[in-house]
Amino acid sequence: MWRRVFSRRKAKASPQRASKARSPAPAAVPSPAVAHAATETPSLALIDERFHRLVLGLPPPRQDDPLPAEAALLRRLELLGARFDLRSLPRLPTVLPQLLRTLKSDEAAGAELAKLVGRDPLMVGEVMRATSTVFYRSAQPISSLQQAVVLLGQDGLRRVITLHVMKPILQGNTGSMGHAAGGRLWGHAERCAHACAWLGRTTGCDAFEAYLAGIVRHAGTGAVVRLLDQLLPGAPPPPLSAGFVRHCAMLAAQLSLQAARQWGLPARVLGALAECQGEVSAATSPLGRALAVADSLASLSLLVENGEFPADADLAHSWPGVMPPAVLARCQRDLGQHFAAGLATA
């Protein structure tokens, strides 16, 4: 179904874009829409709308407010969302909440961590696989799980949890869009986690909680893709309005919070996810503010990668009274530098 959406978008591309597809043009020459966007700071609402439209695979809108024909579709979507079975989400290791609590202690022993990891076969496999990579490879072969845990250390174990456990959870939750939506969600999750941890350091947040909050920020968005698959089977959707996409984003945020509760994530992470369902200025906790800002910075980074905005789009002054512009500018530069390789190979 969704392949036809993208085919339709390509078929309706402007002559200028079609010409570029046939004969490569210099990368420095932006399209008129992107060139115009470079003259002003993009609004946060526009960034959020374009991000969700990109992930959901929806064509550009013809108007902002929901069309009358969309009202019934929205009601059905909300009904499906209310009945959504969280157990259908990809499995999170049952030992993860206790493991996260143990990792918060600097005095956690390798034997204790190995015992917790050993309760979940998936985690055992990922830990042993990580220690066999060139980065962690030791002079002597790893013969036990405890040796592997000690070799990884607490920071390495956290990385295994996020990269090797959360990635398939996000990418496996996207219905028929599969690879396209899952890849974009993971691209955002990596950026959001990086930016949230960076901003969290400036506001006294726990580094790993900030990273984890960024990773799961859009865990529910893949579920919305699956719901739309059920509502629009076999035919590409019309150019749904920006208002419709906003409703999809609200539902996705609710499902993300419900999933995080189902997974037993830390209380501060749950609080930050709850705060992010409103305006950024309404976020009261340091982690909630960091997550809300990181979400938009990550969305912009992903949209730049997909040609939706120019690379020099600047959000440093988009949150007056929330975070200093100088801090935001440094974070945005750091995000761009950290994921520069991804832009180069996109």
Model confidence over 13-45: pLDDT tens digits? 443 433 333 344 444 444 444 444 444 689 999
In a domain, 25, yes or no: no
Q: CA geometry: angle at 275 spanning 259 and 287, to 5°?
A: 95
Closest CA to 212 of 307, 126, 114, 287: 287
Q: What local confidence, expressed as pLDDT, does residue 296 receive?
A: 97
Q: What local confidence, expressed as pLDDT, does residue 32 receive?
A: 44
Same domain assignment for residues 56 and 166:
no
CB of 189 closer than 8 Å to CB of 222? no
Q: What local confidence, expressed as pLDDT, does residue 26 receive?
A: 42
Same domain assignment for residues 191 and 260:
yes
* DSSP assignment string, 64-125: SSPPHHHHHHHHHHHHHHHT--GGGSPPPPTTHHHHHHHHT-TT--HHHHHHHHTT-HHHHH
* Average pLDDT, rounded, for the chain: 79
Convert the pLDDT of each residue in 290-325 to its tens digit: 999 999 999 999 999 999 999 999 999 999 888 999
Same domain assignment for residues 225 and 150:
no
Buried b (16+ CB within 10 A) or exposed e, 80-98: bbeebeeeebeebbebbee
Structure tokens at 287: 């982690």
Q: What local confidence, expressed as pLDDT, does residue 279 receive?
A: 67
Same domain assignment for residues 284 and 216:
yes
Same domain assignment for residues 277 and 140:
no
Q: Which of 152, 171, 190 is at the close of a domain?
A: 171
Structural domain boundaries, residue 73? 40-86+174-346
d(CA 305, CA 195): 16
Same domain assignment for residues 79 and 96:
no
Q: What local confidence, expressed as pLDDT, does residue 318 receive?
A: 94
Same domain assignment for residues 274 and 302:
yes
In a domain, 51, yes or no: yes
Residue 177 identity: M
d(CA 17, CA 20): 5
Q: What local confidence, expressed as pLDDT, does residue 33 receive?
A: 46
320 CB-side CA count, 13 A = 0
Q: What is the pTM of this model?
A: 0.77
Q: Which of 171, 200, 233 is at the close of a domain?
A: 171
Residue 115 identity: K
Q: What local confidence, expressed as pLDDT, does residue 235 receive?
A: 65
Same domain assignment for residues 148 and 280:
no
d(CA 138, CA 136): 6
Same domain assignment for residues 52 and 102:
no
Domain count, the chain: 2
Report the SS3 class of residue 328: helix
First to last CA, the chain: 24
Q: Which residues of the chain have pLDDT under 70?
A: 1-40, 86-94, 106, 134-135, 137-139, 164, 172-179, 234-237, 279-282, 341-346
Identify the H or E element spanning 188.
Answer: helix 179-203
